[in-house]
Amino acid sequence: MTDPAQWVSTPIPSLAEPDWPALSRLPITGSAERLVPMSLAPPPIRVFPAYARLGVPDAVNECYLREGVYRRLLAVARSLPQGLTLLVLDGWRPWRVQQYLFETLSDSIRDASPGIDEQALLERTREFVSLPSRSPDAPSPHLTGGAVDVTLCDADGLPLNMGTLFDEAVPASHAAALETQATAQLPNSARDNRRLLYHAMLAQGFTNLPSEWWHFDYGDQLWAHYHGHAQALYGPAELDTIENRWRRQL
């Protein structure tokens, strides 16, 4: 499906949340694809490294992604109706940022729900932030460079109404939430914007995390899980540094 008119008229399906233990057992072939900064991308694509701008400790002031993901995002941006484009909010994350996000959300849920048991707390936290992991066999999706957080924006760079904010940890942030719930306060334009983003991304090979309308994957274990692949492409990645470069050269 490549027609934007069809994208807007096609509902987002309601998918089950990932089976994280099963997902973590999917083998990873590994890839030498480099991480590249999305700020290299030509117009009309836009980049706003949300966590750095929000003051999250150790967040990088750039959105790095695997080269294959970078090229697919450009294809998505070029497929959108005139006057609209992608706003890239986050890509590869340092492990410390993943840990900060997980602990901060977990603490917030515990404060809001005194007495919550540990299993329920874990499940509610993982709904919006995956476990921090640098394991070569089961890395957090954003540590691979294959996971990306995106939204749509207009020609002036202003984000479109998607019904909830990026990283808003509420049920309405589930990708398909606006397909079923009453929309007195969440207009059809937000539902249609989600549909457009969802189907444009899937047309370029991405998969979506059902609990987050903004989160898409290519090449990581989440992608393999939702595409039905026997193995993933991307394991954990690290930014190239001048020290690493010199050590390789010498």
List, by residue number, the catalytic residues. Answer: 212
142 marked ligand binding residue: yes
CA distance linking residue 143 with residue 170, whole number of Å: 24
Cα–Cα separations (whole angstroms), residue 107 to 16, 112, 113, 114: 25, 9, 10, 10
The count of other CB atoms within 10 Å of the CB of residue 116 is: 16
174 marked ligand binding residue: no
Q: Coil, strand, or helix at residue 153?
A: strand
Give the list of residues 6+ apart from residue 117 with CB closer than 8 angstroms, or none: none
Nearest Cα residue to 156 out of 88, 83, 86, 77: 83
Residue 87, Cα to own-chain centre: how many angstroms? Answer: 12
Contact 216, 144 (CB under 8 A): no
**DSSP state string for 55-107:** T-TT--SS-EEEHHHHHHHHHHHHHSPTTEEEEEEE----HHHHHHHHHHHHH
Contact 220, 206 (CB under 8 A): no
CA distance linking residue 226 with residue 76, whole number of Å: 19
Cα–Cα separations (whole angstroms), residue 7 to 105, 173, 242: 33, 19, 44
Residues that constitute the known binding site: 142, 149, 215
Residues that constitute the known binding site for Zn(2+): 142, 149, 215
